[in-house]
Amino acid sequence: MKTERWALSETEFLAPAGLCSHDELIATLPGLNSGIIVDRCGNPTNRWEDGTKGVPEYDANLASEADCLYHPKTDEETAIWLDVEVRANGDFHSLHG
């Protein structure tokens, strides 16, 4: 087990079973027309919200600092940041503490 800091929506916080650190969320940044895909820990991928590859390093760094992300399937804001215990494969195990 390891501890990671995850972004969760209110719905996910109430029922986190089935979540994974590799789940894709969207970070939106002022001045950009498209969001950047990040994982549940807030780590940016090299893909824009529409799937296009090639996010500039500067924008990726800003995305990694976004406080509020949203879930692309539900449009829910994921503004709750919590430490969670994660299995070796990245699957949720329990809330930390």
For residues 15 and 93, give the distance between their C-alpha atoms in angstroms, rounded to a whole number: 12
Task: State what percent of residues in the chain have pLDDT above 70.
Answer: 99
| Structure token digits, residue 57 | 């390093």
For residues 4 and 87, give the distance between their C-alpha atoms in angstroms, rounded to a whole number: 10
Task: State what percent of residues in the chain have pLDDT above 90.
Answer: 70
Domain boundaries, the chain: 2-95
pLDDT at position 7: 93
pLDDT at 77 over 80: yes
Whole-prediction pTM? 0.88
pLDDT: is 66 or 20 the higher one? 20
Q: What is the tens place of the pLDDT at every residue in 21-48?
A: 999 999 988 888 889 999 999 999 999 9
pLDDT at position 36: 94
